[in-house]
Chain A
């Protein structure tokens, strides 16, 4: 009963948007909605030579209707995502059909724009006339439909997303491991030091955690830039000369450093909460049974922290895989992650279908990692705090 408000909130703010995203990634309504008859007639077309006269006429009529309803822009934009230049071809054609009095549309259209005389153009229209389509997923994996429905790779200078996906995974992995290396000793100290000192230490962990993400990211710019604090110190110490200052921000290094620092608390807190529960008597017992300190630590202490390690790693990894603001600010050209490209397609190119496809792939990548984690470590074994 009392869960209902939460349930409603979660379904509106979380479940429904995800389904909407899944749907948008395959939904392809524009061409089939605004050029329905053309698409219908094209289904009979075999693709060997140009379509018949009547298809040209239907297209011409439907373009005029679309122009009147101000939907022509959507059709043109959709076709332009597939083939550059279609936008102006369509706008030019519509302007000229308006004035055209004859009835030989095939000849006329080809005269208005030579693209109508190429079978490729018609194949594209036919292909994206499907109400539901997987082309966005192809695009998201650097593939496309070639002639005769074969799947071929994009030309090399347009391949990008696979590389960015791999880079995202790689950076997330490095950030996770660095976080683990840095967090482990800190959490150990937090858990074992006397309460008076560990409280102060805890505040030092939490204080940046409570600080705005944006502030922390920009402070890293101040620290790492060419004329920033770190470079100034190295130059002042005489390690490098003034001319060869190190580029530490606006590249992958910047993204790695800033993300590690920002995500560190997400590793420390679960580790700490697990370590807090480990009784010191286990270690003492191991020592008294003759284990060396190192051996006792590795064989007795570390295995007991695994639930914390698992929880911390999963948290940090999943958070960093979708990281957006920090790479956008300090990433430069080599530190951009996939979320930056999703944002680009949402905001600038307005290709929401492609953005949804990229987002869906990311979602399933995370889900399968979660599944894998569950298989290997077991999710009931995880302790979040």
Chain B
């Protein structure tokens, strides 16, 4: 009964064959999250790669998740080659056999001659994927809206008396439960240990319930800066790069609160069964080399995953703003940072998201 998917895939590819064949033959398809983030990859990875090796790169957007990848691998019609994924999807896709393995030995050494294994931040290399950026979920507010005291800590986000108004949060269990626990007094080192227990989960949901009526839920990363700009919310969780972009390029007076930021990696993985395996491997190696990673950091405020790249971070490519203070990994921002635990979410994500959805629908 695999037939329907297969046959429809064949027909679909027949229909699109005329249009796509010229490109698909030699171009490498790299899939990423779109917007300012893809733009930074175009400038820092794709253009230099094409200039050096001559291979054209076809950039496509997606919204996260492994559904499309799984459909391509299962039907045997792989049209994507390289994909930018979150850690949890990198681990899961690797376990499910959706990605090719990438040996860390095949990656170029750091600029200072250190092996790739030592050069990457711990956690940024997995069996099937190579980390490119450190990004972070933070919360931000519009400084124009506050004349007196301003929010400075995670507790202020949960304090609707001191700072009244709607809050934006991502619709999903991840990050929200961690934050709820930490705002309820759990230390940032122990948050996953507590969240593993039933009592800890109850506690997190109870804390979230205390602000539930004050929350607007967002789904796409482009929404929170928009909600802040429209005045729909007074503060919102967001990906730090999006807020930076709104602040620097659209001159918004948005401030980021770095307290208890949840940082994570984005990684490059190669789709299993791609006909352009060698090209894809060459691209991943090239894109995650010291110089390219440092270059990307001048287009968007996501930190490089190689230690050797950090010294090379300079200024923003168009506005000339110094980039280092805006990085999640800058020492001042990093004091209470928590690494999002991919293992925990791979294990408990389904159950906790189900409970979250049920909690939300009440």
Residues of A within 8 A of B (CB): 12-13, 16-17, 19-20, 23, 27, 70-74, 76-77, 80-81, 84-85, 87-88, 91, 157-160, 163-164, 167, 225-227, 250, 328, 332-334, 336, 341, 344, 346-351
A160 contacts B96, C-beta separation under 8 Å: no
Contacts of A23 in B (CB 8 A): 1
B95 contacts A27, C-beta separation under 8 Å: no
Report A357 CB to chain B, min CB distance, Å.
14
- Chain B interface helix/strand/loop/mixed: helix
Contacts of B96 in A (CB 8 A): 73-74, 77
Complex Cα distance, B97 from A366, in Å, reads 37
A/B interface sample: 5 pairs, CB < 8 A: A12-B7, A23-B1, A73-B92, A73-B94, A227-B230
Contacts of B230 in A (CB 8 A): 225-227
Residue of B nearest to A348 (CB): B65
B92 contacts A77, C-beta separation under 8 Å: yes
Contacts of B205 in A (CB 8 A): 157
User: Contacts A20-B5, A328-B219, A341-B357 known; A226 to B70 CB distance under 8 Å?
Assistant: no
CB-CB contacts below 8 Å: B330-362 with A? 343, 346-355, 357-361
Complex Cα distance, B64 from A160, in Å, reads 24
Residue of A nearest to B357 (CB): A160
Task: Kindly identify which residue among A13, A225, A349 contacts B232, using a CB–CB cutoff of 8 Å.
Answer: A225
Residue of B nearest to A227 (CB): B231
Complex Cα distance, B65 from A27, in Å, reads 23
A84 contacts B232, C-beta separation under 8 Å: no
Complex Cα distance, B193 from A324, in Å, reads 37
Cβ of B317 < 8 Å from any Cβ of A? no
Report A19 CB to chain B, min CB distance, Å.
7
A20 contacts B346, C-beta separation under 8 Å: no
Cβ of B4 < 8 Å from any Cβ of A? yes
Residues of B within 8 A of A (CB): 1, 3-5, 7-8, 11, 63-67, 70, 92, 94-97, 166, 171, 205, 215-217, 219, 230-232, 343, 346-355, 357-361
Q: Which 4 A-B pairs have the closest CB atoms?
A: A73-B95, A73-B96, A84-B351, A70-B97
Contacts of A334 in B (CB 8 A): 361
B11 contacts A347, C-beta separation under 8 Å: no
Complex Cα distance, B4 from A19, in Å, reads 9
Contacts of B166 in A (CB 8 A): 226
Residue of B nearest to A83 (CB): B351
Complex Cα distance, B66 from A351, in Å, reads 11
Complex Cα distance, B358 from A292, in Å, reads 54
A332 contacts B217, C-beta separation under 8 Å: yes
Task: Kindly identify which residue among A226, A333, A336, A347 contacts B231, using a CB–CB cutoff of 8 Å.
Answer: A226
Residue of B nearest to A329 (CB): B219
Task: Kindly identify which residue among A12, A72, A333 contacts B360, using a CB–CB cutoff of 8 Å.
Answer: A333
User: Contacts A158-B355, A347-B65 known; A250 to B347 CB distance under 8 Å?
Assistant: no
User: Contacts A157-B355, A160-B361 known; A12 to B97 CB distance under 8 Å?
Assistant: no
A227 contacts B354, C-beta separation under 8 Å: no
B8 contacts A349, C-beta separation under 8 Å: no
A164 contacts B216, C-beta separation under 8 Å: no
Contacts of B232 in A (CB 8 A): 225-227
Of A157, A336, A341, A349, most buried by chain B (CB within 10 Å of CB) is A157
Residue of A nearest to B201 (CB): A157
Complex Cα distance, B354 from A351, in Å, reads 12
Residue of A nearest to B344 (CB): A88
B95 contacts A76, C-beta separation under 8 Å: yes
Complex Cα distance, B215 from A20, in Å, reads 39
Complex Cα distance, B320 from A342, in Å, reads 45
Of A20, A70, A332, most buried by chain B (CB within 10 Å of CB) is A70
